[in-house]
Chain A
Amino acid sequence: SQQGEEDPQALSIQEGENATMNCSYKTSINNLQWYRQNSGRGLVHLILIRSNEREKHSGRLRVTLDTSKKSSSLLITASRAADTASYFCATARIGAGSYQLTFGKGTKLSVIP
């Protein structure tokens, strides 16, 4: 089964509002990554947070990680119409000679101008 599960599945907000997306996972991880995907396009890496980090910022993005709850959140502040896209979390498990990146189902964000 999928490692990461995002919620909500879809989110529609007005431009200027904040958007919060959540991701839950089931097993231990080395890091968690958030990606954006515009319709029919490839993935854009947004931010990576390691398992020993609790919060990370990048521009208008804020990511939190709670390893005790096995959950992460992505906050986009002051949203813009250009933020309309699908957002995926991906959990990374790194072992001796192995690297496994597993994606959640994604949250489709619509920002209305």
Chain B
Amino acid sequence: GAVVSQHPSWVICKSGTSVKIECRSLDFQATTMFWYRQFPKQSLMLMATSNEGSKATYEQGVEKDKFLINHASLTLSTLTVTSAHPEDSSFYICSAKGQIEAFFGQGTRLTVV
């Protein structure tokens, strides 16, 4: 089946620094990628939808200047958490849409200290 690689798997950073998370579709082209956030013991909440070559569409309540999304190619999207704070600590998951369904990366555990 289709593979989506998300990197890094986990990251610990200091408050105020920025962290970049990569999402790659390894064996298919993804015109659309999605970024989700998951708090402990909760479901996935869609943060934004990105289409290759255009600006991402953010869900209500998600700060676009805080969570920068770049989808520069058909196989790569990045999420940059800028000036991270402890409340940004969470599990971030990307997914890439193939022809019929979306495939998910393994997630990135971000801890801001």
- Interfacial residues, chain A to chain B (CB-CB below 8 A): 2, 31, 33, 35, 40-43, 45, 48, 88, 92, 99-106, 108
Is B85 in contact with chain A by the CB < 8 A criterion? no
Report Cα–Cα, A33/B36, bound state, in Å. 16
The reply to whether A42 and B106 contact each other, CB–CB distance below 8 Å, is yes
Number of interface residues of B (CB under 8 A): 24
The reply to whether A42 and B43 contact each other, CB–CB distance below 8 Å, is no
Residues in chain B near residue A88, CB distance under 8 A: 43-44
* Contact among A35, A45, A101 with B34 in the assembled complex (CB-CB below 8 Å): A101
CB distance from A108 to the nearest CB of B (A): 8
Report Cα–Cα, A31/B44, bound state, in Å. 18
Residue ID in chain B nearest A104 by CB atoms:
B43
Residues in chain B near residue A105, CB distance under 8 A: 42-43
Report Cα–Cα, A64/B109, bound state, in Å. 33
Report Cα–Cα, A99/B97, bound state, in Å. 8
